[in-house]
Amino acid sequence: MQRQISNYMYYLSVEKGLSKNTIESYRRDLKTFIALMKQRQVNTPDEVDREALSFFIADLKKKGRATATISRCIASIRSFFNYLLQEGLIDKNPTLELESPKLEKKLPRVLTSGEIDRLLAQPVLGDNNGQRDKAMLELLYASGIRISELVSLNISDFDPRVGFLRCSGKGMKERIVPIGSLAINSVNEYVVGSRSQLLKSNGETALFVNLQGNRMTRQGFWKIFKKYARKSKIQGEITPHTLRHSFATHLLENGADLRSVQEMLGHSDISTTQIYTQITRRKIKEIYDQAHPRA
């Protein structure tokens, strides 16, 4: 199965155009699956049956894996077997009758405007790192882009004259996102000042660079974000994706239409964007309950 999985990874990369992070997620899930199948002496896809799949799911539950993790593993395995069926390597897909565990739908965490202000005020602008960090945080909230999109930005993707940012999302789909004046000014100040001092090579195309003068990594930005989240003393856990959730919710709260927010977020399906309308409805109900004398 290992060789077929390698071919499948190539298929996901070249034909489906999925991102490296998504492909690695598939690879990890399938590696876990193969390891357990070997324990049961199941060595080929033809030998995988409902009993083997049930054993795999039971083992994940026994190890305390979250429902979302189990659901993702099932999706990875189902996709792999669909590929094998499509290529004529198996006669039937054993995962078709496999049910994914029901996920509890939780509304994403959204920061208030005051909390956003506190977070964005944390970087100290007196040094190169602070100016860069301020620009990254401002840009995340102003555009709603993902971390992977942020660190993938090139200097040519930012043009302060037009007020738009070009980024490549999932599946390498390119989109143009508007950004506000505060973010434009912050990024522009970083570009003309700190970036040139952080660079070690004129050939570096990345918009945001680290202390070594190379492209900022996801892990590098995570460490930076955690530091400022801790300093801001915002209650509860927040992640860079919290800024994306806050971006979408604040737009809808202030009158933006759902289709425009969908396009800015790069969602292929509007149902993914609709979760933010639930947040705004909940807030409206809270305001009503607090303000109406007979609520």
CATH no. for 2-86: 1.10.150
Position 79 scores a pLDDT of 93
pLDDT digits (tens, 9 = 90+) for 14-51: 888 888 888 999 999 999 999 999 888 888 888 998 88
The two three-digit tokens of residue 33, written as one number: 């699956």
Domain 113-237 top-level CATH class: mainly alpha
Percent of the chain with pLDDT over 90: 58
Q: Please, are residues 108 and 242 in contact by the beta-carbon 8 Å criterion? A: yes
N residues, the chain: 295
**120 phi and psi angles, rounded to 5 deg:** -70, -15
Q: Please, are residues 169 and 149 in contact by the beta-carbon 8 Å criterion? A: yes
pLDDT digits (tens, 9 = 90+) for 102-160: 666 677 899 999 999 999 999 998 889 999 999 999 999 999 999 999 999 999 999 88
pLDDT band for position 251 (50/70/90)? very high
Instruction: Give CA–CA dist 90/104, Å, rounded.
Output: 34
Q: Please, are residues 234 and 115 in contact by the beta-carbon 8 Å criterion? A: yes
> Is the confidence at residue 292, as pLDDT, over 60?
no
**Cα 136 off chain centre by:** 16
pLDDT digits (tens, 9 = 90+) for 214-233: 999 999 999 999 999 999 99
Q: Which residues are catalytic?
A: 146, 170, 241, 244, 267, 276
pLDDT band for position 287 (50/70/90)? low
Domain map of the chain by residue range?
2-86, 113-237
Position 294 scores a pLDDT of 60
| Confidence (pTM) | 0.65
Percent of the chain with pLDDT over 70: 95
